[in-house]
Structure 1
Amino acid sequence: MVGASSSDDKISNLDLGNPLHLQTSDFNSNTIISVKLTGTENYRVWVAAMKLAINTRNKTGFLDGTCLKSTYANSAPLSNQWERCNSIVLSWLLNSVSEELFLGQIFSDNASEVWAELKETYDKLDGSITFNLLQKIHNFKQGELTVSEYYHKLNSLWREFDIMTKLPKCSCAAREDVSKHNQLIKLMQFLMGLNDVFQPIRSSLLARETLPDVKDAFAIISREESHRGIASSSSGSVTKPQVSSFVAKSNSWNNNGNKKFDNNKRVGNSTNNRGPNPNLHCTNCGKVGHTVDRCFDIIGYPPGYNKNTGPKSNGPRTFNANSVSSSSEKGASLSFTNEQMIKLMNLINEAPLGNV
Structure 2
Amino acid sequence: MSPQTNSSNTSLDFESPYYLHPSDNPGHSLVSVVLNGIENYNPWVLGMTMALLMNLAHTVLYADFAATIWADLKSRFSTINGPRIYDLERRIATIQQEELSIAQYYNQLRCFWDELNLIDSPPNCTCQGCSCGAKEKYLRQQNNRKLMQFLMGLNDTYSQPRSQLLLTSNLPDLSGAYSLLLQDEAQRSHTHPPVSTDCAAL
Quote how far apart the aligned CAs of 1:114 are: 1.1
Structure 1 residues 212 and 118, CA gap change in structure 2 (3 angstroms): same
Mark the runs of 5 or more structure 2 residues left unpaired by the alignment.
197-202
Work out whether residues 130 and 161 of structure 1, in 8 Å CA contact, stay in contact via their aligned partners in 2. Answer: yes
Alignment of 1:242-253 (within 5 A): none
SS at match of 2:161: helix
Structure 1 residues 157 and 131, CA gap change in structure 2 (3 angstroms): same
Greater C-alpha Rg: 1
Work out whether residues 143 and 195 of structure 1, in 8 Å CA contact, stay in contact via their aligned partners in 2. Answer: yes
Quote how far apart the aligned CAs of 1:56 are: 1.0
Give the Cα separation in 2 of the matches to 1:178 and 1:20.
52
The residue identity in structure 2 corresponding to 1:30 is H
State the TM-score, normalized to the length of structure 1.
0.48
Quote how far apart the aligned CAs of 1:169 are: 2.1
Give the Cα separation in 2 of the matches to 1:159 and 1:197.
27
**Matching residue within 80, 83, 96 for 1:141:** 96
Work out whether residues 92 and 112 of structure 2, in 8 Å CA contact, stay in contact via their aligned partners in 1. Answer: yes
Give the Cα separation in 1 of the matches to 2:145 and 2:122.
16
Q: Which residue of 2 aligns with 1:10?
A: 12
Q: Deviations over 1:43-98 (max 9, x none)?
A: 11111100111111125535753xxxxxxxxxxxxxxxxxxxxxxxxxxxxxxxxx
Structure 1 residues 63 and 217, CA gap change in structure 2 (3 angstroms): farther
Q: Deviations over 1:110-133 (max 9, x none)?
A: 332111211122122342221111
SS at match of 1:24: coil
**Matching residue within 24, 31, 37 for 1:26:** 24
Q: Deviations over 1:222-280 (max 9, x none)?
A: 100000000112999xxxxxxxxxxxxxxxxxxxxxxxxxxxxxxxxxxxxxxxxxxxx
Give the Cα separation in 1 of the matches to 2:122 and 2:97.
29
Q: Which residue of 1 aligns with 2:134?
A: 174
Between stretches 156-165 and 24-33, larger displacement belongs to: 24-33
Q: Which residue of 2 aligns with 1:163?
A: 118
**Matching residue within 172, 178, 181 for 1:221:** 181
Pair 1:183-2:183 in alignment:
no
Pair 1:199-2:197 in alignment:
no
Work out whether residues 62 and 112 of structure 1, in 8 Å CA contact, stay in contact via their aligned partners in 2. Answer: no
Give the Cα separation in 2 of the matches to 1:149 and 1:50.
23
The residue identity in structure 1 corresponding to 2:193 is S
The residue identity in structure 2 corresponding to 1:205 is L
Structure 1 residues 54 and 4, CA gap change in structure 2 (3 angstroms): farther
Structure 1 residues 30 and 182, CA gap change in structure 2 (3 angstroms): same
Give the Cα separation in 2 of the matches to 1:3 and 1:168.
63
State the TM-score, normalized to the length of structure 2.
0.81
The residue identity in structure 2 corresponding to 1:27 is N
Work out whether residues 205 and 211 of structure 1, in 8 Å CA contact, stay in contact via their aligned partners in 2. Answer: yes
Give the Cα separation in 1 of the matches to 2:89 and 2:29.
30
Mark the runs of 5 or more structure 1 residues left unpaired by the alignment.
66-109, 237-356
* Higher RCO structure (Cα 8 Å, ≥6 apart): 2
SS at match of 2:123: coil
The residue identity in structure 1 corresponding to 2:95 is F
Q: Which residue of 2 aligns with 1:47?
A: 45
Give the Cα separation in 2 of the matches to 1:177 and 1:8.
63
Q: Which residue of 2 aligns with 1:252?
A: none
Give the Cα separation in 2 of the matches to 1:4 and 1:33.
41
The residue identity in structure 2 corresponding to 1:25 is S
